[in-house]
Structures are given as structure tokens and as C-alpha cells.
Structure 1
């Protein structure tokens, strides 16, 4: 079975300013600095800003509602202002999902604003979806996006 959920958020900065941050390795540092429930966000492979990069996200035990996981950057399109990561280990994969992708797309709105569209796509057997489909949530990813957007808005050039 295939599932997809998506949500848009406004960023009060130009698409250029937003993309500059979203495609940089400092995204993990920004998120970890603001979210007290993350014990680490570590780049395990790659440079943190190109396809093939592997990042490990570990929540603080007993504090967070999500499980540790690793993600690989599978697509970064500088023209379309789009990046995609795929969960490769942990969390949803350990629950039996065969694929779990998170895509961020920036959409030009006006000179000093753009839209950050976050999309989750997942694949799993009907049995896994029946057991765990209700826990697929945008919440942790939207929280991270809100933090990054706030950083972008507060650090405009």
C-alpha cells in the first residue's frame, strides 16, 4: 500500500534565502539547538548538503515520541528548490514500512515570501498499514520545518 500526506507553510523570506539554509549542512544544527528532545543529529556519510549524505537523528530517551532513525539524501534539485530524504533505518522502517520518504519543496510566492511544502510518502504492506498507519504523522517534521523557517526569517540577509 502507498500513502501520502502533505502540508504547506509560509516562510517570510525569499525563496533564495530559504533555499540557502534548507540545502546547507547547518539544518541539523539549527534543529538540534532548538529542540530539547534531540540528543544528536549527526552526519554519518557525505557533506550534509549533497545526494548520498546519511544523517542519524537520535531523540533523548524517554523524552521524545519518535524513535532514532537514519535518512539518506536521495534528491536535491537546486532549480526546482526541492530535496528528498529517505528513511533507511530505524523508526518507521523498523515497524515494517518498506519505504518512507520526506520531500521539501519551496514554492515562490512573492519577493519576500515563499511556501515550504512538506510531503511524506510511504509504502508498506496492508498488514503494517493497518497496525501502524495511524501513527504516520507530519508533526515531528513540521516542528523541524517551523524551527528552520523561524531561523530563516530571523537571519535574513
Structure 2
């Protein structure tokens, strides 16, 4: 079973500033202590192949997971992260991918459009677990990130 969820938001900062946060390790620092207990760098320097261990706050369904940066396209401002251990993979998922896209708003170059998408594939025998994938984590992360961008503007 394959599924996707997407959310979009707009933030009043130029694309370059939004990408500097969303396209880097800084995003994990923003999430740490707010929506996650902590984010630990396991391997890499923020480029493709970087692996992070995310420790979740209690009550979110699982304790930790590891995610790997699988795509960072600085030209098109697209970053993809996939679960490689724990988390959704322990719930019968074959794929859990988080994509971030930053686009300029043609009518307002001082603002950016942030689109986050979750793509997932879950084994048929665990299809009921697809209900654990919600947009709430995306909207919360975008809210904290955008608040940070506006405060540092």
C-alpha cells in the first residue's frame, strides 16, 4: 500500500534564507527540544548520505528512528530524507520518505513557499498502520521552522 501526504506554507523570507534552514542540519536543531527530544548526528556533514538519529518525545508511538539524507538538490531546493532504521520501519513500512521543496513566489520574491511531502509504502499485512502517518508532524515542523526564520530575519 502506497500513500502520500503534503502540506504547504508560505514564509516571508527569500528562498535563499528558507533553503539555508530547511536544506541543512539546522532544521534538526530547530526540532530538537520542541517536537523531538534530541537529534544526534550519526554520520556525515549534512550532505547526501548523512544519517541522523531522532529521539522522539514520549507518546509518539516509537522511541527513536534513524533517517538518511538521500537527495539534496541545491539548484531546485529539494531535500529528501528516508527512514533507515526503527520508527515506521518497525511498524511494517517498507518506505517512509520526507521531502522538502522550497520555491520562490513569483509575485513576491521576498517570500517563499515551503512544501513538505511524506511518501510511504506499507506491507499489506500492516496496512492499518498507515493511519499513524499524519500531516501533524509536518505542520508542526514547518511552524517552528518558519517562526525561527521570521525571528532571525
Q: What's the TM-score, normalizing by structure 1?
A: 0.89
Q: How many Å apart are 1:145 and its aligned residue?
A: 1.8
1:91-118 Cα shifts (integer Å, max 9, x gaps): 1100010011000001111221111101
* Structure 1 residue 40, shift from structure 2 partner: 1.4
Between the two proteins, the alignment pairs up a number of residues equal to 150
Unmatched runs of 5 consecutive residues or more in structure 1 = none
Report what 1:69 is aligned to: 65
- Is the 8 Å Cα contact of residues 95 and 121 (structure 2) preserved in structure 1? yes
Q: Report how far residue 24 of structure 1 moved.
A: 2.2
Equivalent residue, structure 2, for 1:132:
129
**What CA RMSD, in Å, does the superposition of the two structures yield over aligned residues?**
1.4
> Per-residue deviation at 1:124?
1.6
Superposition pairs for residues 89-104 of structure 1, below 5 Å? 89-104=85-100
Moved more, 105-114 or 24-33: 24-33
What does 1:6-155 correspond to in 2, within 5 Å?
A: 6-33=6-33, 35=34, 38-47=36-45, 49-60=46-57, 63-67=58-62, 68-109=64-105, 110-129=108-127, 131-155=128-152
Q: More strand by proportion, 1 or 2?
A: 2
TM value normalised by structure 2 = 0.91
- SS for the counterpart of 1:80 is coil
Deviation at 1:38, TM superposition (A): 2.7
